[in-house]
Every structure is written in structure tokens, then in C-alpha cells.
Chains A and B, each alone.
Chain A
Amino acid sequence: MLINILIAGTVVVCPDCDVRGLKQAVAIAQPYDTILVKEGHYTEDSIIVDKPGLVIMGEGEAVIDANHKWEAILVIADSVTIKGLTVMNVPVSYIHDHAGIKFDGVSGCVVENNTLINNFFAIYLAHSENCLVKDNYIKSNATREMAAGNGIHAWYCHDLYITGNTVIQHRDGIYFEFVDNSFIEGNYSTKNLRYGLHFMFSDRDVYSHNTFVNNGAGTAVMYSRLISLYNNIFEKNWGGASYGILLKEIYDCKIYNNIFRENTVGLYMENCNRTPIEHNDFIGNGWALRVMANSQENMVSQNNFIDNMFEVATNSRRSFNKFNKNYWSKYNGYDLDRDGIGDIPYRPVSLTSYLIENYEAISLMLESYFLKLLDLLEKIAPSINPVGLIDREPLMEKVKHD
């Protein structure tokens, strides 16, 4: 293998060269060669990269245009690098998952600095491992969820590193199914029709420093264990069924230092268990937290809840989660001993919030003076609040996160 690398040659592709297309270049290249794609518009599809170690590099505006025929590049060999290409116009199909750049059953791939425009699926990884997907710009013009594919789609993979990508207007921005031990870091996902991040059956993954803005349904993390979520921003995911994050069947995760701003529901937890939720900011959401009764043993602590319409909603009269030492902007208690902790406990579930969670049609009474009166009565006499959820040590000042 070492010898292979040392004697590797370069194949140059340009519109006026002997080698006028990527398909031709792959055919004549030896394993571990570099294919240099010069600036130009190459109308090509179904390029199958089957030689290991090829480095395909675009120079300038090297455009591979699938011209709505079939998928553009399929890699089935290990250690292939694709850099600096522009791949466009991969068609929608209801039978095949056409992708701009697809890896199937490979190890050690690198996809870096590519631009993928108007593709069905953009970057597609199946049965692959040890891959780096870095700094790609991915944009589609999809308008219908049924006729749209995902920006970065990973299925049965492990040890992926997905970083610095921008995904706009696909179905799901980043899609993970059966992907373990992977990092999703510093990506920007926006205007996707369904989820900015869709994440299922994937364990021991980390996602951090990502921004998910204005996606159809926000982000969803489901059926997974041992996930770490930190320093992410979930913003403006607003709509009838939109969530900053939807957590479903989650065990032993960590959620910290995230910002949830102006989502219909900041954090939705259904059967989410043993997960500490700490040092997050919930600002201006419809509901900051919606905790279903089947979520248990979560620790909600050191978070800032600021200007949310409802702070916490739950459908149970009992609380199976701990709420402690959070800052609640609606708290109006006092602190006589000046230790920074309010002297009277705070109940973040308002009566209105409880009623709406249990009798959905009551949401039609939002902003009515009757509900305002109920909430006022509840503040004066908290005994009518049926919910046992309580923060015994509410903070007087906002938490300053590190």
C-alpha cells in the first residue's frame, strides 16, 4: 500500500484535455492516483468510483451536472477523497435514493469543500465507517416533503465526523439512522422541509456547536442512548408541530449549554430518561419544556427560562423529574437572606399550561381574561395547582454559563 501511494500519479480532467470526463478519468486511473478536475461544466451521471484511495479534486468551478438523469457519483472503494467539486441536478426518484455523492460500504472517505446544488439526496453514506464530511455547502430547491431527499444522509454507519456543513432546504438537513460513535459539529441547517436534524437508533454520538434555524419541524432525536448535545442553537422552529428538539425514547444522554430561542416548543421529552439538562437558555419559546409523564429521572438544573409563554407543561399530576436551581423570569419571590436563592419555591407549570396539556381545546381560550384570572388565583393560592412539579431553590439572577 505504501508503495502504491509513493508511485501515485495524477490524471487531469478538463473540457479540452484528452480526458474529458470524470468517468473516463476513473477508468484510466490507478488506485491511489489523484484526479484533478479543472474548471468546467461536465454533464455526467452514474460515475462509479471503484478504485481505492483515489483523490478527486476540483479546481475552480468544476461542475458535475447529472442533468436530471441519474445519481452523480457513487463510491464503492475505500479511502476515496472528494474535494472542491460542485455536483448538481440529481433527479428526484421514488424508487432509488439518488444522491449527489454516495458512499456505499466503504471505509475512510473524505468529502470536503464541495458544493451540492439542487440534488435529491446530497451526500449519502450507507454501511460506511471512518468518514469525514467537512465544510460542504448543500442547497436544494425542494418544496414538497414527499419529493425531497436529505442533505446529509447516513445509514448503518459508524465513526463519522460531520463538521462545518451548511444544509438548506432539503427534506431533513442531517439524517442519522443506525449511526454510532459519531460527531456532528458546527453545522448549520436551515429551511429544511421537515427536520434540521433527524436522528434515530444511533448511540454514543456527540453533537455540538450546531445551529438549527427555521426548519419545518425543528430537530428530532429518537430511540438513542448515550448522546451528548452541547453548545447548539435551536432557533425559530415555529409551527403547529415544531420543536427545538423532540426527544423520544432517549436514555442516558447529556444536554447542556444549548440555546433554545423562539420555538413553538423548545424541548419536548417523551420517554426521555436519566438525562441531565443543565446550563441551557430557553428564551421566548411558546413552551420552553414539555415533559410527558413517561419521562423519568431527568435533572433540570442551572437553566435560564426567559420570557417563555409557558415554562413547563406536563400531562401528569406527579413529577418524576428533578427541577432545581433554575432561573425563571416569571418568578416573583424574594430573597431575604441574600444567598441568591429565592425563599419561596417556584411552580413552573401554570394552571393554564396544565389545562391545555390535558384538554387540548382549551388552547382556544389563550389570552382570554378567564384564563388570566385562573392563573392569578393560582398565584395567590397555589394549592389549586394540581401538579407536583416544583423548583425548591429558584435562582434570583440569571445563570452565567461558562
Chain B
Amino acid sequence: MQLRNLSSGSRQLSLFEHYINDIVRGKWFIAYTVLLFALIYAVLMFSFETSQAVVGVMNLVIFIVPAVGLFFTSMYYYSRREFMEFILSQPVSRTFVYFSFYLAMSLAMIFSFILGVSVPMFIQGFAPEAIKMSLWGVLLNMIFVAISLMVSVLADDRVRGLGTVLLLWFFFTIFYDAVLTAVIIYFRDYPIEKFIPFVIAINPVDDFRISTLLSTDIAAMLGYSGAVIKHFFGRFFGVLYVAFLQSLWVLIPFLVGLWRFRKKDF
């Protein structure tokens, strides 16, 4: 049925439709969305004030969203490789195929984020926070789907691909902060507060974490560094810098993956 669509007029749209139908109806996707909804709902139920709720949700999001974005994309890519090879034997542009896959995957992840995170926040009466959270959800999912797709295209071997993705997840959620902490301790005699905002803003997970913390009561506990970084993020330049870095996190993996995908010998 899908193939009939492919041979007809709007090939890209129908391929995108196929992918998104396939992803959204998959049991893993449904299970993930339901689980996310349940977890966020539970966190919100046991939070008595906005600050606590937002930080609780953030804690879950920085743990789960990068992981699922990375692993789900890779696993899905590898499991549908034969289908992709078959599609590529048809008269379709490789860019179209790649783009359809990326778009379908990101939209599906964003969809599940909205259902699993933003909707429970709305239900529990945290509407303004939910909107901000949704924007970050869109950005984080676009970034991690792009990175994971790039890795999957680059690595033919499924085990190597998933291994790399695991390392990347570890890097973004833990290792980057560990290195930064070591740098802070090692360079304690230097005025590193001036340069820390530039470095910390590179990691999208840290960006999300800090911008969320700054919007809550906890901002007061970040002390002098918090004041510096609030000043940094509060200015036009800071916002521009973060927006630029985050768009690089989407664009570079996307383009590298595309470049490899177009030349790749399947």
C-alpha cells in the first residue's frame, strides 16, 4: 500500500507519512509516551510548589529525553535498514529519503514530548512553565535525533552505532559536567566565572538545566556564578550565542549525516 503511494506524485510527503505512521504506531513509541506521561504526572502530583515541580520535571527530562532521542532513533534506523535500501532502489532522491526520516523521527519525538511532558504540566496547572518546557523539548529532540541519525549513518555496524550513541549520552548528561567541574577546581585561582558561561552553554543539556534553574527559586543559590550567568543569558548577545550553538548542534550532525548518506554505498 505504501509502495503504491511512493510511485505516485508527492513522493517525499508519502515517505514521511509512512515513517511517522510506522513510528507512532510502534509499541516502543507508545510505551515511551505513556511512561513519560505517568512519570511526569507522578512528579507533579508530589510537588507542592512551582519551583519544586519545574525542577522535578527538568530532572526527568535531562535524563530521559537525550537517552530516548539517541537510542530510539538509532534502533529504528537499524531495524528499518532493509526497507531503506529497498526505497533507495526506487527513483527517489537520497536527500528526500534522509530528510523524510529525520523529520518524521523528530516530529514523533516532539509529539511524544508534548503528550508526555507538556500535557501533564498543563493539566496540573503549570501552563507558563509548560510552554517554556515545550520549546526546550522541541530543541533537545531535534538535536539528539540529528546526532543519533548521523552516528547511525556513519556506523554500518549496529553494535558500534549503539555503543557510540551510549557514549554520547554519557558525554552529554554526565561526562561534560565532570570535565567542567574538574576545570573549575583546577583553575580555581583564575577568574573563570567570565569564561564558564561560554563553555557551559555548549552543552544543550546544561543550557536547558541552567535556564530552568534560573527561572526558579534555586537561582538564588547559584551565588556569584549564577549572577554572572544570569547576566550573560539575560543579554541579547547571550541569547544569540546560545541560539547559535544550539542550531549548530542540529545543523552540523544533520549535514554530516546527509553528506555521508548521499555518498554511502548501501
Contact = CB atoms under 8 A, between A and B. Distances in A.
A240 B225 CA distance: 11
B111 to A, nearest CB: 26
A371 B193 contact: no
A365 interface: yes
A369 interface: yes
B79 interface: no
A360 B55 contact: no
Given A369-B177, A370-B178, A363 B223 contact: yes
A370 B213 contact: no
Contact of B177 (A238, A287, A368): A368
Interface stretch (B56-64, B82-90, B114-122, B134-142): B56-64
Given A242-B220, A362-B184, A368 B209 contact: yes
A370 B196 contact: no
B196 A286 contact: no
Interface in A316-368: 355-356, 358-368
A388 interface: no
Contacts of B227: 240
Given A360-B224, A360-B225, A361-B196, A367 B218 contact: yes
A286 B177 contact: no
Interface string B190-201: 001100100010
Interface string A270-295: 00000000000000001100000000
A250 to B, nearest CB: 23
B202 to A, nearest CB: 13
Given A367-B55, A369-B63, A286 B221 contact: yes
A401 to B, nearest CB: 24
A369 B225 CA distance: 19
B62 A369 contact: yes
A360 B209 contact: no
Contacts of B206: 368
A373 interface: yes
Interface string B175-186: 101101100110
Interface in B136-192: 173-175, 177-178, 180-181, 184-185, 188, 192
A264 interface: yes
B238 interface: no
Nearest to A240: B220
Most buried by B among A363, A368, A371: A368
A130 B221 CA distance: 42
B221 A366 contact: yes
A contact residues, range: 20 to 34
Given A264-B220, A286-B220, A361-B192, A366 B213 contact: yes
A148 B184 CA distance: 40
Interface in A299-328: 309
B217 interface: yes
A60 interface: no
A355 B181 CA distance: 9
B182 to A, nearest CB: 10
A355 B225 CA distance: 14
A309 B220 CA distance: 12
Contact of B225 (A239, A287, A358, A364): A364
Interface in A348-402: 355-356, 358-371, 373
B179 to A, nearest CB: 9
B223 A369 contact: no
B215 to A, nearest CB: 13
Contacts of B59: 367
Given A242-B220, A371-B177, A363 B225 contact: yes
A359 B185 contact: yes
B229 interface: yes
B245 to A, nearest CB: 16
Contact of B209 (A358, A359, A367): A367
Nearest to A285: B221
Contacts of A359: 184-185, 188
Interface string A239-253: 110100000000000
Contacts of A358: 188
Contacts of B174: 368-370, 373
A362 B200 CA distance: 11
A355 B210 CA distance: 18
B222 interface: yes
B181 A370 contact: yes
Contact of B218 (A355, A365, A366, A370): A366
Nearest to B225: A361
A356 B63 CA distance: 23
A364 B220 contact: no
A361 B177 contact: no
Contacts of A363: 221-223, 225-226
Given A366-B218, A373-B174, 16 more contacts: A238-B217, A239-B220, A240-B226, A286-B220, A309-B218, A362-B185, A363-B223, A365-B177, A365-B180, A365-B181, A366-B222, A367-B55, A369-B173, A369-B177, A370-B178, A370-B181
13 contacts: A238-B217, A264-B221, A355-B181, A356-B223, A359-B188, A360-B225, A361-B192, A363-B222, A364-B229, A365-B177, A366-B221, A367-B59, A370-B175
Interface of A: 238-240, 242, 264, 286-287, 309, 355-356, 358-371, 373
- A-B pairs, 9 with minimum CB distance: A370-B177, A361-B225, A286-B221, A368-B177, A361-B184, A363-B222, A264-B220, A370-B178, A370-B174
